[in-house]
């Protein structure tokens, strides 16, 4: 059974401050991304996206969502990991939508950074079994995506595989059910996007559609809703 998550219960003014801080960071990020310095010679892309303003809206919204869901969990020690992930989400969505590539320069450094932050969050929580669960979900999701990429390399790239471990880590820290919802929601969102783009004739049946944005959207769907096994 899937229901709306309970939330952390933090004050509304905290969420407003988080949204404003996220919007400020998102505006700077959008300006930097609009230059398209992330492009490499092998990328096949048209003119760089010019709408630099939407990362400000997206980061502000996601920081408010993270504040609502994670908030003061573990004495506020868990919040930094999810704020970093929210910012990373917006940057990766921009890049993957533009050039169909999840750059190692963002994804790989996120592993040690988020691992350190998750360890700090676990120390604040005082339950080291949560860290074991998060690492298990990270390994499990990575292995699953790796297998799918081997079976169908035209559908999933190894950038998606690398990203899956980060999603497994952070959603697994919240709960196994959350990691499961993130996995499922990623494919549901991806399917919906593909149908919309096909109906709108934005792509053809053989076109490649970036899957990273769907995976990341699925992760935040999993933070907003809560999965419960009903006997």
Over residues 169-187, the pLDDT tens digits come to 999 999 999 999 999 999 9
Q: What is the pLDDT of residue 199?
A: 74
Q: How far apart are CA 164 and CA 139, in angstroms?
A: 9
Q: How far apart are CA 99 and CA 91, in angstroms?
A: 12
Q: How far apart are CA 66 and CA 140, in angstroms?
A: 24
**Least trusted range by pLDDT, from 131-135, 148-152, 158-162, 204-208:** 204-208
Q: Say whether pLDDT at 160 is over 50.
A: yes
Q: What is the pLDDT of residue 146?
A: 97
C-alpha separations of 91 from 18, 26, 72, 106, 165 in Å: 18, 9, 25, 9, 17
89 and 62 in contact (C-beta within 8 Å)? Answer: yes
**Domain span at residue 30?**
2-227
Q: What is the pLDDT of residue 52?
A: 86
pLDDT band of 229, cuts 50, 70, 90: low
Torsions phi, psi of 227, nearest 5?
A: -95, 130
User: How many domains, in total, are found in the chain?
Assistant: 1
pLDDT band of 165, cuts 50, 70, 90: very high
Over residues 10-36, the pLDDT tens digits come to 999 999 999 999 999 999 999 999 998
Over residues 55-96, the pLDDT tens digits come to 999 999 999 999 999 999 999 999 999 999 999 999 999 999
pLDDT band of 203, cuts 50, 70, 90: low
Q: Say whether pLDDT at 156 is over 90.
A: no
pLDDT band of 102, cuts 50, 70, 90: very high
Q: How many residues does the chain have?
A: 231
Query: What is the rounded average pLDDT of the residues 133-161?
Result: 93
Q: How far apart are CA 161 and CA 209, in angstroms?
A: 15
pLDDT band of 198, cuts 50, 70, 90: confident
pLDDT band of 231, cuts 50, 70, 90: very low
Token readout for 71 is 């908030």
Token readout for 53 is 């303003």
Residue 216: how many CB atoms within 10 A of its CB?
26
Q: Which residue has the tokens 């990362």?
A: 55
Query: What is the rounded average pLDDT of the residues 209-230?
Result: 86
Strands (E), the chain: 2-4, 225-227
Q: Nearest-5° angle of CA 167, CA 25, CA 219?
A: 15
C-alpha separations of 26 from 31, 94, 108 in Å: 9, 12, 21
Token readout for 74 is 């573990």
Q: How far apart are CA 187 and CA 164, in angstroms?
A: 12
């Amino acid at each position: 059974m899937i229901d709306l998550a309970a939330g952390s219960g933090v004050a509304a003014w905290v969420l407003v401050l988080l949204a404003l801080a996220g919007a400020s960071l998102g505006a700077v990020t959008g300006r930097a991304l609009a230059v398209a310095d992330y492009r490499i010679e092998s990328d096949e892309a048209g003119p760089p996206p010019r709408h630099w303003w939407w990362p400000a809206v997206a980061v502000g919204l996601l920081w408010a969502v993270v504040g609502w869901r994670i908030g003061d969990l573990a004495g506020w020690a868990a919040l930094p990991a999810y704020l970093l992930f929210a910012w990373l989400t917006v940057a990766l969505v921009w890049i993957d939508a533009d050039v169909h590539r999840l750059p190692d320069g963002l994804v790989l450094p996120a592993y040690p950074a988020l691992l350190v932050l998750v360890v700090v969050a676990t120390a604040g929580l005082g339950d080291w079994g949560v860290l074991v669960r998060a690492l298990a979900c990270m390994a499990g999701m990575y292995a699953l995506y790796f297998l799918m990429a081997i079976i169908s390399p035209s559908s999933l790239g190894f950038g998606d595989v690398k990203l899956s471990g980060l999603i497994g880590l952070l959603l697994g820290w919240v709960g196994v059910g959350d990691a499961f919802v993130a996995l499922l929601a990623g494919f549901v969102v991806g399917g919906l996007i593909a149908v919309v783009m096909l109906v709108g004739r934005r792509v053809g049946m053989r076109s490649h559609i970036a899957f990273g944005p769907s995976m990341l959207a699925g992760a935040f769907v999993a933070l907003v809703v809560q999965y419960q096994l009903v006997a």
